[in-house]
Copies of this chain bind each other. A is one copy, B any other.
Amino acid sequence: MSERNDVVTMAHGSGGRAMQQMIERMFLSAFDNPWLNEREDGARLSLAALSQQGDRLAFTTDSYVVDPIFFPGGNIGKLAVCGTANDLSVSGATPAYLSCGFILEEGLPMEDLQKIVSLMAQTAREAGIAIVTGDTKVVQRGAADKIFINTAGIGVIPGDVAWGAGQIQCGDKVIVSGTLGDHGATILNLREQLGMDLGIQSDCAVLAPMVAPLRAVSGVHALRDATRGGVNAILHEFSEASGFGISIDENALPVKPAVRGICELLGLEPLNFANEGKLVAVVSAQAEERVLNLLRKHPLGADAATIGEVTENPQVCLRGALGVSRQLMLPHTEPLPRIC
């Protein structure tokens, strides 16, 4: 086995000295926090400290396999922190702790891994989230594609927050926090080598600071972040769980001209495009203005808009530019694999 220091080798995943050195030099120094520095095989977290912040834990996980691993607006590491933290936020929780499992392909340049780890650490630090435990596996060249990352997250939900699709009521308003499809269009443009100078980048971001003020608003019923499957997938999840339908106004959808252009060129629908920093909120008509104002106060929510409402008719429908409404189906599959 190679003793090279500039790429990941099988030795880095073996449980021997090479792995210990990589953990110390790269992960411990980047993610630096008291829980991780205990060097036990797992973190120990005070239940009293967690219980001060709320009455329920939120616990969620995602694996990240995005291709390419570097893209305008971020990389796979930033995505792995934001994605799982955002799942916690939209459940009403304050994100607190992340675990992190790396699967590395032999031959991955150490420089690439360092960039990914550094941006993970920076993103977590900015969001007040501690990466407290982790694991590294290395597989032979060709047995994985460069790097896969799994994160699992723990957050705490305050006692007075009860968001969930089961809370949705007929007449509720459907709000998105900003422009749709930026992440999907960015990856598509890179990967299909369309070579368009779109001037767009992934919207990958930690949503917690924008979401937290919404917890004080009565009439907020359900939030989800619209990642893989886009806003359309969320609308269908909400519809199925609540038994109601949702009617969306096509004219109201905030979409950047460049993203609209790529969609029209390829015959794709921005509602199906992945986002990595956008949420869908279902709120009472009374809460609509307050929620829009709170979202727009945050830079990530500047383009927040009401896009539709919850209906008795249990279908998800799209009202087009000419006022004609058609049923919006959930595609069998997304246009773009490995989007996140």
Contacts and interface: CB of A to CB of B under 8 A. Distances in A.
A54 interface: yes
A286 interface: no
B139 A229 contact: no
A150 to B, nearest CB: 4
B15 A337 contact: no
A291 to B, nearest CB: 20
A47 interface: yes
B40 A228 contact: no
A60 B87 contact: no
Interface residues of A, number: 83
Copies per assembly: 2
A91 B54 CA distance: 25
B60 A139 contact: no
A332 B148 contact: no
Interface string A248-259: 000000000000
Contacts of A91: 40-42, 44
Nearest to A90: B41
Given A16-B332, A154-B154, A59 B337 contact: no
Interface of A: 1, 10-11, 13-18, 20, 38-48, 50-51, 54-65, 67, 87-88, 90-91, 97, 99-103, 132-135, 137-140, 142-145, 148, 150, 152-154, 156-157, 164-165, 224, 227-230, 233, 237, 241, 274, 330-334, 337-338
Across the A-B interface, give the 4 residue pairs with the lowest CB-CB distance, nearest first: A15-B229, A42-B60, A152-B152, A11-B333
